Every structure is written in C-alpha cells, then in structure tokens.
Amino acid sequence: MSYGDNITAVEHVGEHLQIEAHSEPDRVVLELHGELDLLGAPSLEEAIEGVEAGTPSIIVLDLQDLQFVDSAGLRVILSAHERSLNGDWSFALTRGTEQVQRLFTIAGVDDHLRIIDSPDELFG
Amino acid sequence: MGTRGTESTSVKAEPIGDVAASVLIDAGAVLASSLDPTTTMVQVARLTVPRIADLCVIDLRDEDGSIRDVAVVATQERIARDLEKLRESYPLNPDGQHPVARVIASGEPMLLSEMTDALLSSFAQGSKHAEFMIKHDYRSAAVAPLRARNRTLGALSLLRLGDGVRYGKEDMELACELARRAALAIDNARLFSDLRRAEQRLEAVLVNLAEAITVVDEGGHTIFANQAAADLLNVNSPEDLMGAPPGTIMPRFLVFDEQGRELDLEHMPGRRLFAGEQPEPLLVRNVVRASGEERWIIVRASPVTDPETGQMLYAVNVFENITAVKRVQLAESFMAGASRVLASSLDYNETLRRVARLTVPTMASWCAVDLLNEQGEIERVAVHHPDPAMMELAERLNRDYRLSPDEPAGVPEVIRTGEARVYTDIPPDALAQYARDNKHLELLSAIGATAVILVPMIGAAGTIGAITLVSSGEDRRLSHDDLPLAERLARRAGTAVENARLYTERTRIAHTLQKALLPESLPEIPGVEVAARYCAAGELNDVGGDFYDVFEQGENRYWMLVIGDVCGKGPRAAGVTALARHTLRAAAMSEQSPAEMLATLHRALRRQPVGADLCTVCLVAMDRSARHTRLTVALAGHPPPLLLSADGEASLIGEHGTLLGVLDPIEVGLTRVELQPGDTLLLYTDGLPDAGGAGVQLGERAMIEMCRKAPRASLKGMLAHIEREAVEYAEGSLRDDLALLGIRVHIDELRR
C-alpha cells in the first residue's frame, strides 16, 4: 500500500480486531484487520472519535482485510457516517470481503455509504 | 644409667648392623607416636644412649637462625644437665666453627672420628665450654643434619666420651638415617601444628557462620557442628549434636521432598556421598515432630577425602534455611492457583469445595468453608481432608452439631466479629469447654487439631462466611505466619462468592427481563404450526437485543410474524427492543400495512434521544384461509427468511430493505409468496449465519444447507436441531444471540 510508511498507531483489541491508523495532513485511513463485532466495536468507535478530534477533511475505513462485521460494527460505521453528514468532513469505506459486503446489502446501507475500491481512489 | 659399663660392653659385642636395625626400629615406633616434637626428640636421643653413643644432643634451628638444644641425653644424667646449663649460658654461634653450627649451615654431615683437645678448644664457645669438653673427654663425634623437604631443621650429634669406640663411616650413616627420620617427624609435627592453626581459624569461621554446617563421618557420627546447625536441628549446642549417637537426630523430623514424598536418611546428600553417588543439592520440607514447625531447607554435601588414599573420610553438610523465601513463593503460587479456581466457575459452592481441596495439604490438614445463608444460618459448604474416614467424621460433626450463629467461639464468633482467630495450641480442657456434650468432645478430639486458624470472608455488605484451617497430627502446625495467606485467601474467596451471587442475581434479572421482551407463549394458528427458539450468546447475564413476536392483526385474518435485532446488549438494548415490539403491535392495531408498520418503527427509533439505535426487522404478514397461505415478506435491514419447501428445496425469500433508526429515507423490501402444504418458512437473526468462532463463520450458503438437511418431523424439533447445530458449530459459544421463528403449513389441515 502506498501509505504503508506512516503508521501512527497500532491498537490491538483482543484477538479480534486490529486497527492501524495512517495519518496524513488532511486525511486519515483506519485500516481494520480481523473481526468487527460486539467486542471490537467500542474500540473502533473510540478510534474514529480520536481521529475526528484532529479535524481531518477525510476519514477512510479500509475494510479490505476485515474478515467479519456484525450489527454492532455496523452501528459504529453508521454513527460515523451520520456525524460526517452533520460535520464538515467526508467519510468513506473501501469495499470489504464478501461477508462484509453482504451485510451492507442485507442492511440496505450500501446505497447510503460512500464505498470506494481503494483508499487512494479519493486522493489520486 | 648406672649400668652403663655393662651396656657399653654389650654394644661393643653386638654387630653394628643389628644395633643400627634395632635403633631404627625403635625410632620408628617413637616417631610414629604423635607427641609434640620436643618430647619426641628426647625419646629419639634416649634410644641412642648408651647403645650407639655416650652423649646425644639434638639441636634445632629457630626461625631467627639461633640454635637451641631440644634434647640432651648422656650416660650420666649430671653430664646432660651440666651441658644444658652451659649451652644456656653460651649458646652456639650459628656462624661459628662448632660442628653443629657447621652442619646446620651446610646441611652436610660431619664425622669427627678422633678429636684432640686442641680441636675441641678451636670450636668451643668460650673457655668454660672448652674445659667442659676436655673434662668429660669428648673424643669422637658424628653430627648429622636434620633435613626435611630440602631444609635443614637442626642437627643430631652422637658423641663418645673417653677411651673407647671411635665412630666410623657406618656410624655416620646410621646417625644420618636417624636424623632424617627425626627431621621428618619434626616437619610433620610442624605441618600438623600449622594445619591445626589453620583449622582453628577455619573452625572460628565455621562456628560463626550463619549457615548450618555439620561434618559427619561414615558411621554417622557428627564430628563437627556449628551453633547454626544446633539451632536448625533443634538441639541446645553443637556438643549435643556431636554427642548424639548416629541416627538419633533425623527421627526428630518429618522430611519430605518438594513433591511431598517422605525421605529417610539414605536420601540425604551426605549419605549418598558415602554411597559413592554425586548428589545434587536437595530441597526438603522439614517438619519438627515435637512442635509441628515447618521449615524449607536446602541440603548440600561435599566430601572430605584422605589426600593419600583418596578414601572419603567425611561429608560436610551445609544446610540453608530458605523457609522465608519458600513461604513467599508458595503463598504466591498458592494464591495463583486459588485465583484460577475462584475464577473458573460461578457455581460458588463447587468453587469453594475446590478451594478447600487446594489448601490441603499445602496449608493445612483440614479445611472447612462456612457461609451465612439468606436466612442468617451458618451453612457448611465445603470441607476437605484427604482421608475418607476423616471426611465422614467431619460430616457427622456438621450434621449432629450444626453451628449456631450465636455460639460464643469458633466460626460463629469470627462471622459475627469479622476478626480472624488463631489458636496455636489446643489444650484438652479448652476443647472440653467448647464441646456441647461427651459425644461432641469425642468427635472433636478425633480430629486431633494441633492448631486452628479462622478467617472471615468479607463481602461488600459485611462478613459472609469463614474459612477454617486446621492442622492435625504430625502435619506441619499452623502458626501466626500462616495468617496473612489465610486472610488473602478468604478475601479472594469472599469476593468470588459475592460476585457469583451478584452474577446469579443479574442472570435472574436478565432472564426475567428477556422473558418480558418475548411472547410468553405463541398463539395457536389454525392449520399452521408455529415454533420459536431463543438462545442468548455467551454468559447468560445480559439482555440480548434479538426479539420475535407473533400476533393477529385486528379482525382481518392476518397474522403478523416478527423477528428483529436491536443492536447492542444490556438495559439500553432491552429498552429499544421493548419499544420495537410494542410499536409494531400498536402499528398493527391501526391497520397499517407491513411497510407502514416498519416506517412507524423507524420514526419511533429516530425520536430516541441519544445516538443511533439501529434495528433490523423481518416482518411477515400471513393471509391465511382454508384454501391458501399467502405471505408478504417485509425486510428492513434484516436477513431474508428461508423457505424450506415440502419437496426439500430451500431458498431465501425477500428483497433487502434499509435498517431502521439511522438512515433517512428508508426503503422497505416487499415480496409476496404463497406457502404450499408442508412448506416451512424460517425467520432467523444474524446469530445463525454468523455462528462460529474467531475468523470462521457458518455463512449463508452453509446455513441454508444445514437447515435443508434438518429433520422435519416436527417444526419444534427442527428448530431445536438447527439451534443445536449452530451452537456446536460455534464450539459452544455463540458470538451473538440467536432467535429462530418458524411456521409450517399443515398438510392435512389444508386438505380439509
């Protein structure tokens, strides 16, 4: 990945979820590994809120390596999405694994969320 | 000495070789006896007079170089005494010409076969000395050096007085041999005395050493011990230890290895050295039989061997008392074990039984745990002793002499006061006073307690029970040192019991609440079988967010089947779940369509004050008549239901819609389908496709396959089977709640 050199934090959340934050002056990419479920959701929420505090213009959740998401994880993603609509920053997600995309489809949220193919898509 | 003439005659008559041999043999005996060097030299000198000399003088060189006579023996005692006096007044000049001085200086023997008065005068230490030698008629002399390890220690002088035998070469050789042996004896004696001094210094070190040291010979006699050893081995002084007959000290102790196996004398490193082994240091647990005191000791042994024969003479035993260190270590590992046990289960009765087992025999011979129950009675929940007969005894005590909370002493007192009690001595009359009757006393005596520790188990609201530790018989006796660990254990156990009770209480509340969120019973729908299952994920102490409901809509023969999932757990999710269920029921009563019902719920959720309360719902409206069963499946963010047709096909039914409560606007997916006799429609929450462990989910396809293969004899049985399979797939712990709701159209009902 092109932003592989600027890891600012790696947070281990049990065995389930790992969050790597890649920061640049105006954008932050949170790369998720593992599983985003009831156990991991609070950590992601905390991570996103922490990034928001730095007032970036764009926050991207990179879901390419995320193996699983459930409704608790979805709630965190949708909360962030809602805050981005009320705030002055953009929020986007990269396309996840089949299970992740399937959940977005079932939940009927894929039309609402900004889903991109690569974290670099927005930044040329 | 008066028979000098006769003896002199016999000397002359004897062949010189035999005389020499007899002198050397006698010298051997004299020199072997371990007397001090001066006495030995006098005896050597005596051997020569009168057999090979009339006068014998042995001189030694002192460290400062001066020459001092240590033995003067003559045929006449008076001559010897006079010479001694003379030598005292006129000591030999080490640098002078006197043959003794010259021999000592050169290390070479001197044979003065024929001495003239002029010669005598030439080396005399003055006129009186010359007069003495001339007066006593010194005529022949053989002076041999006392040499050992290349040093000349002194000289042996043999003299003939008056007319008689003159010394020759053979006499000189004999004198040299005798001098050599005497020198060796002196050297050994000096070495011995040096050694002795070194030993004394060493002994002073050993005696004052903090570590206990004993030196034991092969027969088991202690030949050395220091005060630390006497203290450790419970005798008054090192002398008591040295005086003790072999094998009488060890039986005063019970000795175990780290694994608790009893050890005897032959296991001790010192004994194993004598057996030819090379023992490693041995860590032993040692209990003083008399007092029950327990110590942890490292025993090391090293051999002392004879430098010449290489034979082992002694074993030096060093005992290091590591009781304090070991106690801390044991306490930590004990507490680690106890913590594991206490955290292992929420069944605190079982947990406390395991704690009781854990304390025996590490801490105590017996352990009992009593809890105060809700009625304020003292209830014995655990007791442990390794001997079943003793366990029976304890049970009888508990059954026949149940503790009453108002008893003045023992467990009731500790529970009342919250203060620990330590009894390091249990006198028979105290036991008699405590006992309620003779039978009770008999049972108590049979326990054979040597010491008792009672510690309170304290919870947030006060004392909730007590742990009793008892040492008995020859087991290590409990002491005040055990109190801190006992108190730690009781604190930890108290917290565990309290947590378990709170947890049990929370679980009870959660169950009650969950039941309130789910229909108490499913309604009977003519011609349709209805069944549901609910399985909470993980521990049963939290209210889940899954819900289902089945109800009739007004009077228009519609039945509503609802399954939904509110994100989250706990009280907040429970509140949203209740809201969802009741909003849908209320919406149904006002004759809304399925899409309208879901929109109503969405608006209700959006009005919730804080955060995003998202909720997914699958709503199925069933239009039911004798001829048909028509369904409208409405989806809002929820996985589509599964249609299992009578002919064994399986398919997901429905079009996806937006989940409720977060995003505007929502779209509800609506699908119409007609059920045939024998068809089953299964509604589920994501707990089913998501069932699995870390990194592995059942997934949609496998879920469909699993449901298709489930035995269909009864709908209830089918749902139970599916739930069981999902739980098994998740290896016993579902990551999310799982709700299943199914309907099946009766075959015979429709044919009517």
DSSP B126-157: SHHHHHHHHHTTEEEEEEEEEEETTEEEEEEE
> Given an 8 Å threshold on Cβ–Cβ distance, is A71 in contact with B565?
yes
B608 in contact with A, Cβ within 8 Å: no
Q: From CA B434, how far away is CA A95, in angstroms rounded?
A: 78
DSSP lists the bridge partners of residue B463 as B458
CA-CA-CA-CA dihedral for B237, B238, B244, B250, to nearest 10: 90
pLDDT at residue number B328: 84
Residue B321: both structure tokens together: 């008392």
> Given an 8 Å threshold on Cβ–Cβ distance, is A75 in contact with B663?
no
CA distance A6 to chain B (A): 27
CA distance B736 to chain A (A): 8
Residue B531: both structure tokens together: 């069944």
CA-CA-CA-CA dihedral for B405, B409, B415, B419, to nearest 10: 160
Closest CA to B193 of B31, B34, B44: B34
- Phi, psi of A84, deg, nearest 5: -70, -30
pLDDT at residue number A14: 47
CA distance A79 to chain B (A): 6
Find the angle CA(B392)-CA(B398)-CA(B400) to the nearest 5 degrees: 95
> Given an 8 Å threshold on Cβ–Cβ distance, is B567 in contact with A74?
yes
Closest CA in chain A for residue B685: A71
Closest CA in chain A for residue B669: A108
Closest CA to A108 of B615, B546, B584: B615
Q: From CA A39, how far away is CA B581, in angstroms rounded?
A: 26
**Under 8 Å between Cβ of A62 and A28:** no
Burial of B619 (0-12, 13-18, 19+ CB in 10 A): buried
Please give the single-letter amino acid code of residue B173: E
Contacts of A78 in chain B (CB under 8 A): 612, 614, 662-663
pLDDT at residue number B6: 36
pLDDT at residue number A123: 57
> Given an 8 Å threshold on Cβ–Cβ distance, is B695 in contact with A35?
yes
Closest CA in chain B for residue A112: B663
Rounded to whole angstroms, the maximal C-alpha distance in chain A is 36
Contacts of B736 in chain A (CB under 8 A): 37-38, 70-71
pLDDT at residue number A70: 85
> Given an 8 Å threshold on Cβ–Cβ distance, is B686 in contact with A102?
no
**Under 8 Å between Cβ of B452 and B468:** yes
pLDDT at residue number B284: 92
Q: Computed from CA positions of residues B640, B643, B648, B649, in that sequence, does the dihedral angle turn out positive or negative?
A: negative
pLDDT at residue number B695: 64
Q: Is the peptide bond before B50 cis (omega within 30 degrees of 0)?
A: yes
Order of all β-strands in the sheet with B212-217: B222-225, B212-217, B312-321, B294-305, B282-288, B253-256
DSSP lists the bridge partners of residue B529 as B744
Residue B71: both structure tokens together: 């033995």
**Under 8 Å between Cβ of B56 and B156:** yes
Kind and range of the H or E element at A8? strand A7-13
pLDDT at residue number B553: 84
pLDDT at residue number B733: 66
Closest CA to B455 of B470, B468, B446: B468
Find the angle CA(B658)-CA(B642)-CA(B748) to the nearest 5 degrees: 135
Closest CA to B672 of B637, B650, B643, B648: B643
**Under 8 Å between Cβ of B22 and B48:** no
Residue B335 CA to its chain's centroid (Å)? 13
What DSSP state is assigned to residue B480? G
Rounded to whole angstroms, the maximal C-alpha distance in chain B is 167
Pairing, β A90-94 against β A58-69: parallel
**pTM of structure:** 0.48
Which residues of B180-228 form beta strands (DSSP E)?
212-217, 222-225
**Under 8 Å between Cβ of B192 and B185:** no
A-B C-beta contacts closer than 8 Å: 81
> Which of A35, A44, A66, A71 has the most B C-beta neighbours within 10 Å, making it the best mutation to test the interface with B?
A71
B690 in contact with A, Cβ within 8 Å: yes
List B residues 100-139 in contact with A (Cβ-Cβ < 8 A).
none
Closest CA in chain A for residue B544: A38
Interface of A with B (CB under 8 A): 15-16, 34-35, 37-38, 67-68, 70-72, 74-75, 78-79, 81-82, 99, 102-103, 105-109, 112
CA distance A83 to chain B (A): 10
The segments of chain B whose pLDDT lies below 70 read 1-17, 33-35, 204, 207-208, 506-507, 509-510, 538-544, 555-556, 569, 609-612, 693-695, 732-733, 748-752
pLDDT at residue number B610: 61
**Under 8 Å between Cβ of B355 and B334:** no
**Under 8 Å between Cβ of B80 and B58:** no
Q: B335 vs B367, B470, B481, B521, B529, CA distance in Å?
A: 16, 18, 16, 48, 56
B91 in contact with A, Cβ within 8 Å: no
Other Cβ atoms within 10 Å of B568 Cβ, number: 24
Q: From CA A96, how far away is CA B666, in angstroms rounded?
A: 23
Closest CA in chain B for residue A68: B695
pLDDT at residue number B747: 81
CA distance B608 to chain A (A): 14
Closest CA in chain B for residue A79: B612
Which has more pLDDT, A29 or B362? A29
CA distance B715 to chain A (A): 26
Order of all β-strands in the sheet with B546-553: B546-553, B558-566, B615-624, B629-636, B669-675
CA distance A31 to chain B (A): 17
Q: State the helix-helix crossing angle for B323-344 and B348-359, rounded to 10 degrees.
A: 160
- Residue B33 gets the label, from left (phi > 0), alpha (psi -120 to 50) or beta, of beta
> Given an 8 Å threshold on Cβ–Cβ distance, is A112 in contact with B663?
yes
What DSSP state is assigned to residue B118? H
> Given an 8 Å threshold on Cβ–Cβ distance, is A108 in contact with B666?
yes
Pairing, β B680-684 against β B738-745: antiparallel
